[in-house]
Structure 1
Amino acid sequence: MKRLHLLLFIALYLFFPVSTFASEMAQFRGKVVDASTQAPLPGATIYITDLKAITITNNQGEFILKNVPAKGKFLLEVRFVGYKTYSVLVDLATQNSLTIDLSPSIIESAEVVITGSPFSSNNKTNSLSVVTVGKTKLAQSGGTNLIDAIAKIPGISQVSTGGAISKPIIRGLGYNRVLTMVDGAREESQQWGDEHGVVADQFSAARIEILKGPASLLYGSDALGGVINVIDELVPAPGVHNGTFTSTYSTNNGLTASSLMLQGNEDGFVYRGRTSYKNAFGFGYKDITVPNSGFNEMNFNGMLGLNKSWGYSHLTFSRFHTNVGLVEEGPDEQGRFMNHDGEVLSQSEAKERRLDLPFQNITHYRTALNSNIILGKGQLKTVFAFQTNIRKEFEESAQEPGLNLNLKSYTYDVKYNFPAIGQWQPAIGIQGMYQDNVNKGEEFLIPDYNSNNIGAFAYLKRNFTKGAINAGLRYDYKKVNGKDLNFDGEQIFTGFSNEFSNVSASLGFAFEIAKNMVLKGNAGSGFRAPNIAELGANGRHEGTFRYEIGNSDLKQETSLQFDLGLEYTAESVTFGLNAYANRIFNYIYPGNFNEETMPFQDEDGSSHDLPVYRYVQTNADLVGAEASVDFHLVKSLHFENSFSYTRGVNRATDQPLPFIPAASINNDIKFEPNIKGFLDSYIKVGVTNVLKQGRFDSFETQTNGYTLLDAGIGTTITTGKGKLNIWVTGQNLLNKEYYNHLSRYKPVGIYNPGRNVTFGISVPFL
C-alpha cells in the first residue's frame, strides 16, 4: 500500500499541468570584464545552478540568460580560466542586468556547492567541510573507478578489492555510514558489502562534491559519516548541441575504457545520452598477474528535460552492468597462483580477459525525476527515484548463480525553500524510502526483507556580510522486517521486526575573520539504523574470505561530531586546516573473536575453515585532522601538499577500532608552461607517503608504510568543435610492492597494483 501511494504521488506530479507552476518569463543580461583593465572577457561561463540555466559571454563579454523567472533570489556563478571564480546573489525582481568584474588568479577554486545545504551556496558560507573534484581532475587521476579517482583527497580513502571495486571511506567511516548520491537520489545497491562498489558510470560525473562529517540532518540515515555527491554535466546553453568521445588505456591491467556522449538544448528542451564500456584483465605487481581479478562494464544513461521560467524538470534513466572476477586464494610461498587443478598459471593465462569462476554479475537500473519548481519567490525541489539492483554471484556454474539478490528501492525527497526573509533563509523537507529485497538463488547471505523509513527536517540559515550561521532539526523513523527462511530442512534465517527512530540536530557557522581567511565550525549529531547484513547475515561472504553472522538485537548508531576549519585563499597561496572529534554511540563493527572458524566446502569437494565474523557494538571515538597548503609563488609552478590522519578508539576496551586508514602525506609539483597553440599544458610529479598503521584491532595485522611515485603530462588543443584534451598519467612508477591497510586482498598475501600508465584522450564533435 505504501508503494502504491508513492507511485500515485509520482504519477500525479508527472501529469500535473506545468502551467500551474508557470511564472512570468524574463531575461537577465550582463557583462564580464577584467577588474583591472575593464577589458571584456569572451568565453566566460555564467550559470545559476538552481535553475540549470547556463550561457557563455560573446566577444564583447556580454551574456543573456534566457527563460529565467521574473522574480526570486538566485546564486549566480561566473567562471573563467585564469580568474577567480565569482558568485553573487541576484534578485530577479529588482535586477535585470549586472556588470561583473573578475580578478586574475592562479588559484583553482569552486565557489558554489549544492551538498550540505538545501540551496546552492557559496562555499565560504558553508559550515560543513565540502571538497569539489572537477571532471578534468577525475579523468587525469588514472583511477579505475569513481572512488579510486578521489581516494587521494585528504580525509578520503577506499576499501579496495583489486582494481575493480572500491568503497569510499570518509574520516575512518564507510559502508552504510557514507551516502552516495547519483542523479540527485541516494544510491541503493547492497552497499553493506565489502566487495560492492558504487554502481555509477565514472564518465558521467562532471564533478564530485564530498561532504566530510555527519550529514544526517539533510540526508537521514546512512549519512552519519558523510556524503559522496556525483553530479552530472551541466546542460548546454540554448541552441547549443555538442558531444564528446573519451577513451583511455591503462597498462597494468589492460583496462580499455571509452565513453560517447551527446547533449543539447533546443529552446529549453534539454537532452543527454551516454554509453560507456570498460574491459580489463587481472591487475598485477612486479612480474605477477592476479588471475580472475579483471572486470568488464557496459553502461547506458540518458536525460530528457525542460528548462523554463518556472524552473526545470529532468528525467534521468540509466543501466549499469558489470561482471567482476573474484579471487578466492592468494599466491603460494613462491608467489605463484594456481588454477582449479592445482597447476601453476602462466602470465598469458592470468591475463585472459575471460572471467573464470567465481565472479559477480551486477545490473543496476535507475530512474529519477529531479525538479525545481518556482512557487512565488520560493522553490519546491523534488527528487523521485526508482532503482532495481540485481546482484548475482556465480561459483559452481556460469549459468546458474549461487547468490542472487534482487533489491527494489523507491525513494522520494521533497524540499521547500521559503523566500528569504531579509537575510534569513528557511527550508523544510521530507524524505523517505521503501525497499524490498528477495533471494532468488540457492545460496544465502542475508534474508529476504523489506524496510520503510521516513524523515522530516527544518533548516534555517542567517547570512551576514562576511559569513553565515545555520541550524537545523530532524526526525527519522525506520522499520526493518527480516523474513524467516527454512531451506532443505535447515533454519537459515530467523525472522525479526525492528524499529528505529532518532532526533538529529546541527548548528554551524562560517565567518571571514580576516581578508581571505574563513573560520568554520559545526556541531552535529548523526543517526544510522543497522543494515540488513549487520542484523541478519548468515553465510559465506564471497570475495572477503570470511563467514558472517548478524545480530538482530543491534541498536541504532548515533553520533556527536565537532568540526573546526580554517581556510586561507590568497592570490598565490592557499591553506586549509580541519580538525574533528566524533563520538559514536553503539558503533557497529564485525570482528573475529576467539579465533572462531566455520568449516566450509568448496565446489571441488575440498574443505577448509573460514574465520567467523560476528557483528557487535561498542562506543567509539574518532578524532583526526586534515591539512593542505598550496604554493603558487610562480604563475606556472604549483606546489600542492596535504596531510590526513584518523585515530579510532574502542571506548570499551581502549583498543584501536578496525578498518582505520593509515595517515598519509601527498606532495605534488605541477609545471604549466605557456606553449603557443596549446592550452592548459602541464607536467606534474607526485609523491604519496603512507605511514605505518601500527594501531589495529586484534584480528587485523600491522601494515607497513610505503612511498609511491606518480607523474603526469597533458595538454589541450582548441578545435572548431571545442577543446581536445590529451593526457598521460603514471602511478606507482617505481613498481613498489605494498599493502594498503584497507585492501581486502591483504589477508591472503596479494599486493596492491604495481606500476600503471594511463593514456587518455577526449575529443569534441558537433
Structure 2
Amino acid sequence: MLLPSVSMAEATTTHQSAIAPPAPAQVASPSHTSMNRAPAARLDEVSVTGVPIPGNPLSQAPDVDVVTSNDIEAKGAANLGQALDDLAGVDSISTGNTVGKPVIRGLSGERVKILSNGVGVSNQSFGVRHMPVTDPFLLDRVEVVRGASSVLYGSSALGGAINLLPPKIAYDKTAQGEVMGRYDSNNREWDTGIKATGGNGRFGYAFGLIRRDGGDIHTRDEPTYFPGPKAAAHPDAPAYTGRLKYTDFNQVNGDVAVGMHDDTLGDWTLRYTRWNDEHNFLLPPPGGIKPPSAGAEGVGQYIDDRQVQLDGRFNAGGITWEPKLMWQNNRRRSNAAGYPRDLGFDGDIDLQFNQYTARLVGQNGPAFGLDGGKIGLEYVNKQQVSRGHTQLSPGGEVNNAAVFAFQEKDIGKLTLQAGVRYDYHDVEALADKTANPSASVRDAHKQTYNVVTGSLGAVYAFTDHLSLAANVGRGFRAPTLFELYVAGQHGGVAAYQRGNPDLDPEKSIDTSLSLRWHSDRLQAKATVYRNLINDYIYLRDTGQTIDGLPVLDHEQTNAELYGAEASIKADVTSWLSVHAAGEVVRGRRRDNHEALPLIPADNVRLGARFTPHGNDWPRQTYASVDVRYYDSHKAAPGDPFSQFDNAPFGRASTSGYGLVDVGAGIAPKIHGQEVRIDLRINNLFDKAYRGFLDTYKGYALSPGRDIRLTTRIPFDL
C-alpha cells in the first residue's frame, strides 16, 4: 500500500458546507484526463484544499485538477513541470531534465503562485530557468487551480495556484511507504528514494529522501555548421546536437515530519523540508570565456532551500481554525558564464533570503444566511541579501499583510461563491544588504501598494452529470525587487537587464466559463477564458548592447490573454479507455497587438490505455500509447532568446512537430511482496524537434528518445 493518496482524502458533497462531516462524492479525479494516466485505482473520494471552499473539484467555480503521487511516479517525472504538463491548459518551461516550470494559461514564473500545503513559497523565479524548489517524489498530490487566485493567496496568483500537498501521517500504522528506483536512458539519470509514515494512534511521523543524479541530455544527432564558413547558408541549424555538454545535475532532497492527533487539542504537524541542487546550464555561443571554435561552455548554479512549517487544525467557537507558520531560507548561487559547477562557486551571484509567513484561516459553517466559507489573516516578511560580485537582484525587504473572506450560498441547483481581500504590500531595496549596489538601489525609496481584490463564481448543476461553471476574479501582482532594481548580466537569458523603480502593480480581471460532464464512463470538460492584465510588466529590448549582450529594460503595458482548453476520458470497454486534451491560448499587448512572451504553442494530445483482466495476465497490467502534436509558433519580441532568430545558428521560433510516447506496467508479487514496474518511452521515434518552451531551443535540439524504467516496492507493517 502506498502512502495516503487523494483517494483517501476527506471528501464533501457538491453542496456541503466547509465544515460539514465528510461524505463520499462519487466522482473520479479530473487528472484522469491526462495523457499518461497512471495505473491507479479510480479515485472515488476527492477533496481539494487549495481553493476557497474545500470540497470536490467539480463543485468549484474555478477549474481544478488533482495529480496524485502515483500518477507522478509512474510517469517518471523528475520535476514539477513534468509532473503537470499532461493537464489541459498546463505546460512546462523546460531546460533539459533539470528545470520544469509550470505554465498555466500562458502565465508562469511570478504570475503562478506555488504553495506548500496552503502557504506561499518563494523560488527566486525571476529567471526563465529558475525552477520551483520541490521534489515531486516527496508529494502526496498536487492541486492545480486555474485562473486568478489572489483572493486566497494575494500577489503572484494572476494565472493560478499550485498547491503541493505532502504525505499525510498514518497514525494507525507502524510503518507504510515505498522504496523507489528509476533509470532514465536519455541523460543516464539514476533516482533512488524512500518514504514512509506511521504512528501509535496519537503521535506519528513521516519522512522521505531521494537522490537524483542526472548526466548530460541527448538529442538526435543532426548536422551542425557553426562555427564555420557554411553557417550563413544554414542559419536554422542548431549549434549543438547529440550529447549536450553541461546539462547535468545532482540533487539530494528530503523531508521529515512529526505530528499529533488529539480529539481535544486538534491536529498538529511540524515538518522540515530541504531541497539541495547543483546543476550546469549549456550556454549559447559565444556565451562564456572562450571563442565559439573552442566548443560548448556551461555555467554552474547551486540552490539550497530549507523550509520549516507548523500546521494546526482545531475547533473553537463553532469554527475550524487552521493556523500555519512557515520559515523559508533560500540561497541561489550562480557562477559567471563559462565556469561550470565542477570548478566550484566563483562568487559572481549570491542571493539569499529568509521568508516568514503567518497565516490563520477559519472555516465557518452557516451564518447570516450563507452556507459557509473561509475567513483569514496572513502576514509575510521577506528579507533578502545580495552578496555576489554582480548585483542582479538586490538585497532588500518585502512585507505583505492581508485579510480576506470567502463564502458560499446554495440556491437550488445553483451554487454561488464570492470573496474579497485587502492587501498592504511594501518593497524596499537596501544598499547595506547589497554587496555592489547599483545607483538605483542606493537611491531607492520604499514602494507601497494597497490593493483590493475579489471574485464571484457560480456552478449550476443541470443534471447529476452535467454542470456549468462561471468565474470572474480580480488578481494582482506587486513588482519584485528584481523587476524594480535589477542591474547586471543575467546569464540565464544571455542578456543585460535593468530594473524600473517606477513600476506599478499588475492588476487583472480574469473570466472563465466551463462546461463539465461526469459519469462513471465519461469525464469531459471544456473551458473558455479571458484574462485582462493592466500594467503588465515585460522586458523591452532597447537595441543597445553591453559586452556584446542585448540590454533589456523592464516596462509596462496593458495585456490580454484568452483561449480555450478541453479534456475528455472515456471508458470504451472494461479494458480500454481513450483520452484527449488540447489547448489554444493567445497573449498580446493591447496597444500594438504584439504577442506576449512564453505563450505555449497550440497543442493536442490523444491516447489510449489498455488494462486487460484475468488470470492469464500479471497483476495490474496496463499499456498505453499517446500522441502529442504541437503547432508551429513564432517567438514574441520579449521572448527569452528571441535574439537567436537573427543569429548564425538556431532559432527561437519553432516548427510544428508530433511525438509518440508509449508505456506499460505490471505489479507482480514476488515471494509475497508486491513490486510495481512502470516503463515509459518518450519520443519513441527519436524525432528531432525544438519545443517552444524549451529554453535550449535557440541553439540546441530538444531531448531525443528517453526510456524511463521505474521500480517501486510498497511496504505496510
SS of 2:210 mapped into structure 1 = strand
Aligned residue in 2 for 1:657: 596
Q: Is 1:685 the counterpart of 2:685 in the alignment?
A: no
With CA pairs under 8 Å and 6+ residues apart, which has the higher RCO, 1 or 2?
Answer: 2
1:213 pairs, out of 147, 162, 174, with 147
CA contact (8 A) 2:400 2:423 kept: yes
Map 1:106-117 → 2, pairs under 5 A: 111-117=46-52
Q: Distance in 1 between matches of 2:436 and 2:205?
A: 52
Per-residue deviation, 1:135: 1.4
Q: Distance in 1 between matches of 2:479 and 2:359?
A: 22
Map 1:49-68 → 2, pairs under 5 A: none
Per-residue deviation, 1:718: 5.0
Letter in 2 for 1:456: V
Per-residue deviation, 1:493: 3.5
Per-residue deviation, 1:505: 0.7
- Structure 2 vs 1, CA of residues 344 and 399 (structure 1 numbering), >3 Å: closer, same or farther? closer
Q: Distance in 1 between matches of 2:426 and 2:680?
A: 47
Aligned residue in 2 for 1:596: 544
CA contact (8 A) 2:570 2:579 kept: yes
Letter in 2 for 1:304: V
2:525 pairs, out of 569, 576, 584, with 576
Q: Distance in 2 between matches of 1:383 and 1:515?
A: 37
Q: Is 1:496 the counterpart of 2:445 in the alignment?
A: yes
Q: Is 1:462 the counterpart of 2:462 in the alignment?
A: no
Q: Distance in 1 between matches of 2:421 and 2:135?
A: 32
Cα deviations by residue, 1:471-502 (Å, 9 ceiling, x for unpaired) = 11110111000123797897474423211121
Q: Distance in 1 between matches of 2:659 and 2:134?
A: 28
Aligned residue in 2 for 1:764: 714
Map 1:349-388 → 2, pairs under 5 A: 358-388=299-329
Q: Distance in 2 between matches of 1:718 and 1:375?
A: 48
Letter in 2 for 1:755: R
Q: Distance in 2 between matches of 1:436 and 1:688?
A: 43
Per-residue deviation, 1:464: 5.0
- Structure 2 vs 1, CA of residues 722 and 373 (structure 1 numbering), >3 Å: closer, same or farther? farther
Q: Distance in 1 between matches of 2:111 and 2:248?
A: 28
CA contact (8 A) 2:683 2:706 kept: yes
Per-residue deviation, 1:419: 2.8
Q: Distance in 1 between matches of 2:578 and 2:80?
A: 25
Map 1:370-409 → 2, pairs under 5 A: 370-395=311-336, 396=339, 398-409=344-355
Letter in 2 for 1:737: A
Letter in 2 for 1:717: P
Aligned residue in 1 for 2:272: 317
Q: Is 1:425 the counterpart of 2:372 in the alignment?
A: yes
RMSD in angstroms over aligned alpha carbons?
Answer: 2.8
Aligned residue in 1 for 2:95: 161
CA contact (8 A) 1:75 1:120 kept: no
CA contact (8 A) 1:125 1:467 kept: no
| Structure 2: unaligned runs, 5 residues or longer | 13-17, 31-39, 222-241, 643-651
- Structure 2 vs 1, CA of residues 745 and 646 (structure 1 numbering), >3 Å: closer, same or farther? same
1:745 pairs, out of 665, 685, 696, with 696
SS of 1:596 mapped into structure 2 = strand
Map 1:152-191 → 2, pairs under 5 A: 152-191=86-125
| Structure 1: unaligned runs, 5 residues or longer | 1-42, 51-70, 87-104, 332-336, 351-355, 600-608
Letter in 2 for 1:697: P
Map 1:572-651 → 2, pairs under 5 A: 572-593=521-542, 595-599=543-547, 609-651=548-590
Per-residue deviation, 1:572: 2.0
Map 1:183-582 → 2, pairs under 5 A: 183-236=117-170, 238-287=172-221, 288-310=242-264, 311-330=266-285, 358-395=299-336, 396=339, 398-421=344-367, 424-463=371-410, 466-484=413-431, 491=439, 493-494=441-442, 495-582=444-531
CA contact (8 A) 1:106 1:572 kept: no
Q: Is 1:124 the counterpart of 2:58 in the alignment?
A: yes
Q: Distance in 2 between matches of 1:474 and 1:488?
A: 38
- Structure 2 vs 1, CA of residues 591 and 72 (structure 1 numbering), >3 Å: closer, same or farther? closer
SS of 1:759 mapped into structure 2 = strand
CA contact (8 A) 1:338 1:344 kept: no
Normalised to the residue count of structure 1, the TM-score between the two structures is 0.81
Q: Distance in 2 between matches of 1:44 and 1:216?
A: 25
SS of 2:578 mapped into structure 1 = strand
Q: Is 1:48 the counterpart of 2:3 in the alignment?
A: no
Letter in 2 for 1:714: G
Q: Distance in 2 between matches of 1:585 and 1:490?
A: 28
Letter in 2 for 1:112: S
Q: Distance in 1 between matches of 2:349 and 2:677?
A: 42
- Paired positions, count: 657
SS of 1:140 mapped into structure 2 = helix
- Whichever of the two has the greater Rg, that structure is 1
- Structure 2 vs 1, CA of residues 464 and 717 (structure 1 numbering), >3 Å: closer, same or farther? farther
Cα deviations by residue, 1:541-598 (Å, 9 ceiling, x for unpaired) = 12321111111100000000111101111232222101101100101111213x3221
Q: Distance in 1 between matches of 2:147 and 2:438?
A: 43
CA contact (8 A) 2:357 2:379 kept: yes
Q: Is 1:714 the counterpart of 2:665 in the alignment?
A: yes
Q: Distance in 1 between matches of 2:535 and 2:696?
A: 29
Q: Distance in 2 between matches of 1:583 and 1:321?
A: 37
Per-residue deviation, 1:761: 0.7
Q: Distance in 1 between matches of 2:172 and 2:43?
A: 27
Q: Distance in 1 between matches of 2:302 and 2:48?
A: 35
Per-residue deviation, 1:300: 2.1
Cα deviations by residue, 1:3-39 (Å, 9 ceiling, x for unpaired) = xxxxxxxxxxxxxxxxxxxxxxxxxxxxxxxxxxxxx
Cα deviations by residue, 1:88-111 (Å, 9 ceiling, x for unpaired) = xxxxxxxxxxxxxxxxx9966663
Q: Distance in 2 between matches of 1:360 and 1:106?
A: 40
Q: Percent identity?
A: 26
CA contact (8 A) 1:205 1:232 kept: yes
Q: Distance in 2 between matches of 1:507 and 1:239?
A: 42
CA contact (8 A) 1:127 1:522 kept: yes
Q: Distance in 2 between matches of 1:73 and 1:111?
A: 15
Aligned residue in 1 for 2:224: none
- Structure 2 vs 1, CA of residues 109 and 695 (structure 1 numbering), >3 Å: closer, same or farther? farther
Letter in 2 for 1:713: A
Per-residue deviation, 1:152: 2.3
Per-residue deviation, 1:741: 1.6
SS of 1:443 mapped into structure 2 = coil
Aligned residue in 2 for 1:353: none
Per-residue deviation, 1:643: 0.8
- Structure 2 vs 1, CA of residues 140 and 231 (structure 1 numbering), >3 Å: closer, same or farther? same
Is the strand fraction higher in 1 or 2? 1
Cα deviations by residue, 1:697-722 (Å, 9 ceiling, x for unpaired) = 37635321110110100122357987
SS of 2:282 mapped into structure 1 = coil
Per-residue deviation, 1:49: 6.9
SS of 2:492 mapped into structure 1 = coil
Q: Distance in 2 between matches of 1:723 and 1:371?
A: 35
Aligned residue in 1 for 2:676: 725
Per-residue deviation, 1:340: 5.1
- Structure 2 vs 1, CA of residues 641 and 44 (structure 1 numbering), >3 Å: closer, same or farther? closer
CA contact (8 A) 1:248 1:760 kept: yes
